[in-house]
Amino acid sequence: MPENDDPKSVAKLLERAREKLTPDARTRFILLFALFNAMFCLLVLLSLQNMELKESLEEVRAGAQETSVAVATQIAGVRETVAAEAATQIASLLQLPTPVPPTVSPTYTLNPTYTSVPTDTPVPPTPTLLPPSPTATPIPPTPTPLPPSPTATPVPPTLTATPVPPTPTDTPVPPPPTDTPTDTPTPTPPPPQVLAVSPTQDDNDTVINITITGANFLPIPTAFMVDGGATALETTYVSPSTLNAVIPAWFTADYYDLTVTNPDLQSYTLTDAFTLTNPTPLIAGVNPYTGTDNVDTNITINGSNFINGLSATLSAFSLPTVTIVNSTTLNATVPSSSSVMPGGPYTLTISNPGPLAPTNSLTDAFTVTLSSIYGYTPTCDISTTNCSDAYGPPDGNPADIVEGGHLTFTFPAGSGIRDGPGYDFVFFEFPNPNDPDPDIGGILLDWIVVNISEDGNNWPQVFYWGDNITDTNTNVAPHNYNGDTGEQDNEFIRSGDLWPGGLNANTGIAIDINIISPPQGSQYRYIRFSCPASGGDAAHMDSIERLH
């Protein structure tokens, strides 16, 4: 550039240069020149703003210093006023002259702190107020500002007044915190199990101690007897596998399940665990012990352990009326044999109710006697002679039944032969006048057939001598005194084998009609005796006697 660089010379040079530039170069030149002017203006603006910012910061700093001095002065005045008032009140209480408090000059120290703040807003510094010394001479505060960072906004210092601390006292130190225990979930114990009960059966007339074995029993479980309802038992815990329990006396007889329930309410049931029975009845006797067949007989049964709901029978016949007076006495009625029971001895049987039906019996406890053992009418066909001689007790005067003939005995309506204990009726033969052994005595049994009937139409057979088939329902069997065998006509039967009764000797043949299995209570009004067609001589019939 030429040494003469006044504006006119520069403008001329630029104009010459512009004329020499091409159009494109000229355009670029104009753009660069405009850009240079814009940058120059921007620098001028930034310089002006920086000067304004410095002036504002100086004003804020001066204001903060003035504010700190004013606040410290006010605090000192308040302290002096409070001390004077307190001294006056104490003096008035003690009636002493009012003391003049010493002049205390507080000492202030300002420690401004500058903190960079991201924003451009200036924050005044906060001075720190130190406690005054009682004898110190006031020293004017000297703020010590720190220069702000070129890129940070200075924070004005904060003035903090620090009073003289009182005499420290021991402050209790709280104990260190203890760890709060955490609840650990308790695992659920397994449910109980019942494996067996001992004993498994007993009478209920006494207290029963039982032992329950199983597993997982917890102190103290409860045992229950269950039969539709549940009854708690007195239960003793022995171990996790053993319990003892007590069944009280006269607990209801029944079949029971047993349930064990732990305190956590878990339970287990053993089915059919225990059978509780009523006691066995005992029979001491019957009064009266006999009665006739034509009237009802009221009896008293003595014994023990009689339980409501029991049943009583005489042999196969149930007593229709039984009344329990108490546990040792029963009243009952034996019906007349004409309507229900045949004559003869009977066994009394009593069964208590409940499981297993405890039962006891007394043999020959009661005997039914016949009011008329010969109350019948014999009827003979035309081939039978001396028919009326068959009526009444045996007297040695028989009716004779010829071959192919028969003799029928008819009892009144409502009576007849019944099936009872042992033999049911007896027919008597003619005693043998030419007994081969007079010292023994006996009969010569003829071939004969015996049938019975309820209605006169059906005639089941109950005895046949002469068919060589042994009749096991009688008191006679084949004999061979004469060296023969089988059932012979005029077979000799010794007196010792015959039913008592007859003229000068025993001549009776006893027959049990149960060979035909008659229904209970069946009553046979008709008995027929026949002589087989090939029977040789006539059959002799002296009499019949009804036993039942």
Question: What is the model's pLDDT at position 145?
Answer: 46
Could you count the other beta carbons within 10 Å of the beta carbon of residue 461?
15
CA-based nearest residue to 514, from 415, 406, 408, 417: 417
Cβ–Cβ < 8 Å for 399, 517: no
* 187: in domain: no
Cβ–Cβ < 8 Å for 109, 133: no
Q: What is the CATH number of the domain that holds 419?
A: 2.60.120.260
Q: Is it the case that residue 309 has pLDDT exceeding 80?
A: yes
Q: Is it the case that residue 168 has pLDDT exceeding 60?
A: no
**Distance between CA atoms of 65 and 126, rounded to whole angstroms?**
10
- Using DSSP's 3-state secondary structure scheme, residue 456 falls into coil
* 485: in domain: yes
Question: What is the model's pLDDT at position 144?
Answer: 46
Of the residues 252, 277, 302, the one at which a domain ends:
277
Of the residues 350, 369, 388, the one at which a domain ends:
369
Cβ–Cβ < 8 Å for 198, 245: no
Same domain, 391 and 498: yes
CA-based nearest residue to 307, from 240, 345, 359: 359
Same domain, 387 and 535: yes
- Give 147's pLDDT tier (boundaries 50, 70, 90): very low
Query: Parallel, antiparallel, or unpaired: how do β-strands 377-380 and 406-410 relate?
Result: antiparallel
* 4: in domain: no
Alpha helices in 95-183 (DSSP H): none
* 511: in domain: yes
Entry pTM? 0.44
Q: Is it the case that residue 153 has pLDDT exceeding 60?
A: no
* 457: in domain: yes
* 11: in domain: no
Question: What is the model's pLDDT at position 95?
Answer: 59
Same domain, 30 and 76: yes
**Distance between CA atoms of 14 and 414, rounded to whole angstroms?**
175
**Distance between CA atoms of 113 and 146, rounded to whole angstroms?**
7
Same domain, 298 and 225: no
| Dihedral Cα 357, 360, 366, 367, nearest 10 deg | 90
Q: 69-76 contacts: CB < 8 A, separation 24 or more?
A: 69/140, 69/141, 71/129, 71/159, 71/161, 72/106, 72/108, 72/129, 72/141, 72/159, 72/161, 75/106, 75/129, 75/161, 76/104, 76/105, 76/106, 76/132
Overall average pLDDT of the 185-189 stretch: 83
Average pLDDT over the chain reads: 77
Q: Is it the case that residue 281 has pLDDT exceeding 50?
A: yes
Question: What is the model's pLDDT at position 518?
Answer: 73
Same domain, 273 and 290: no
Q: Is it the case that residue 249 has pLDDT exceeding 50?
A: yes
- Residue 48 or residue 437, greater confidence: 48
Q: What is the CATH number of the domain that holds 221?
A: 2.60.40.10
Q: Return the biggest CA–CA distance within the chain.
A: 211
Same domain, 412 and 537: yes
* 139: in domain: yes
Same domain, 143 and 216: no
Could you count the other beta carbons within 10 Å of the beta carbon of residue 230?
14
Overall average pLDDT of the 307-325 stretch: 90
Q: Is it the case that residue 432 has pLDDT exceeding 70?
A: yes
Sheet with strand 282-287: strands edge to edge:
282-287, 297-304, 329-334, 321-326
Between the ranges 83-87, 300-304, 463-467, 531-535, where is the mean pLDDT highest?
A: 300-304
DSSP for residue 62? H
Number of folded domains that form the chain: 4
Overall average pLDDT of the 306-326 stretch: 90
DSSP for residue 63? H
Cβ–Cβ < 8 Å for 506, 500: yes
Same domain, 134 and 153: yes
Give the model confidence (pLDDT) of 372-400 as tens digits: 666 677 777 666 677 777 777 787 788 88
Token representation of residue 47: 């310089």
Of the residues 277, 312, 346, the one at which a domain ends:
277
166 contacts: CB under 8 Å, gap ≥ 6: none
- Residue 95 or residue 307, greater confidence: 307
Cβ–Cβ < 8 Å for 225, 200: no
Amino acid at 315: S
Same domain, 465 and 333: no
199 contacts: CB under 8 Å, gap ≥ 6: 208, 210
Segments forming the whole domain that contains residue 147:
16-163
For 290-311, give the secondary structure using H, E and C: EEECCCCEEEEEEEECCCCCCE
- Residue 396 or residue 208, greater confidence: 208
3 contacts: CB under 8 Å, gap ≥ 6: none
Amino acid at 396: G
Same domain, 330 and 457: no
Token representation of residue 498: 């015959």
* 175: in domain: no
Same domain, 381 and 489: yes
Same domain, 346 and 383: no
**DSSP per residue, 410-427:** EPPTT--EE--SS--EEE
Q: Is it the case that residue 55 has pLDDT exceeding 70?
A: yes
Share of the chain above pLDDT 70, in %: 69
